[in-house]
């Protein structure tokens, strides 16, 4: 009986000793994984700070003027001069401001089949558009029924290309100015927005 107890106790001790290195390895592995995650986060934060620093250093005079907490044109900046200089940056496509590929315009605006999001235009982040898409932003005005408003397509084009040519220091991204969209792509978005048969205008 004693032998059985001794053997049993010995076997249990053996199992515990045998399993200990495995448990220690797992703990060390988890710790390393956690340290790795923390390091990745630090690197991302550092990279973001560096990119922000570079972006600040590369600001043109108008971006510097608009980089203020109020996001309005600060005192000492002539608004008309501001608009003229921004207007001079707008490049128009050879085929005119109304493009021919409405389907591409819809995809760039935000394709309904992909939840209304586009990595290029991403208009739904700030605006409502196609009535079928309920999730939309409210930073900018709703664009539903846009074609019925009597807005000149050229003005629409300019707003998308460089919104500051219309409203200095506007929070709307300057998609053409920064090369996010080409003039031809913007023209296709304009076609989508102004076409009476567009889902946006239904």
pLDDT in tens, 134-143: 888 899 999 9
Using an 8 Å Cβ cutoff, are 65 and 85 in contact?
A: no
Residue 51's pLDDT is what?
A: 67
Distance CA 38, CA 68 (A): 33
pLDDT at 176: 95
Question: pTM to 2 decimals?
Answer: 0.70
pLDDT for position 147: 95
| Residues 6 or more apart whose Cβ sits within 8 Å of residue 126 | 137, 138, 139, 140, 172
Distance CA 158, CA 1 (A): 94
Q: What is the pLDDT of residue 5?
A: 46
- The predicted pLDDT at position 177 comes to 94
Residue 159 near residue 190, CB atoms below 8 Å: no
- How large is the angle between the packed helices 183-194 and 102-110, nearest 10 degrees? 100
Decide if 176 contacts 164 (C-beta within 8 A). no
Q: CA-CA distances (angstroms) from residue 95 to 92, 108, 164, 184, 187?
A: 8, 18, 24, 8, 9
- pLDDT tens string for the chain (202 positions)? 544 445 555 555 555 555 556 656 666 677 777 877 777 777 776 666 666 566 556 777 778 878 877 667 777 778 899 999 999 999 999 999 999 999 999 989 986 666 555 566 789 889 999 988 888 889 999 999 999 999 999 999 999 999 999 999 898 999 999 999 999 999 999 999 999 999 999 8
Q: How far apart are CA 198 and CA 5, in angstroms?
A: 84
pLDDT of residue 12: 52
């Amino acid at each position: 009986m004693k032998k059985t107890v001794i053997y049993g106790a010995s076997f249990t001790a053996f199992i515990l000793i045998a399993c200990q290195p495995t448990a220690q390895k797992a703990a060390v592995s988890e710790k390393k994984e956690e340290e790795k995650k923390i390091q990745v986060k630090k690197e991302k934060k550092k990279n973001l700070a560096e990119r922000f620093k570079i972006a600040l250093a590369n600001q043109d005079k108008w971006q510097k003027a608009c980089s203020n907490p109020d996001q309005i044109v600060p005192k000492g900046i002539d608004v008309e001069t501001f608009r003229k200089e921004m207007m001079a940056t707008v490049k128009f496509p050879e085929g005119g401001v109304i493009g021919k590929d409405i389907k591409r315009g819809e995809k760039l605006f935000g394709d309904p089949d992909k939840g209304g999001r586009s990595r290029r235009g991403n208009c739904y982040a700030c605006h409502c558009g196609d009535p079928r898409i309920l999730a939309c932003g409210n930073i900018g005005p709703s664009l539903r029924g846009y074609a019925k408003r009597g807005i000149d397509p050229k003005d629409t084009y300019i707003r998308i290309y460089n919104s500051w040519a219309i409203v200095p220091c506007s929070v709307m991204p300057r998609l053409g100015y920064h090369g996010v969209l080409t003039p031809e792509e913007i023209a296709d978005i304009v076609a989508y927005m102004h076409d009476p048969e567009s889902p946006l205008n239904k």
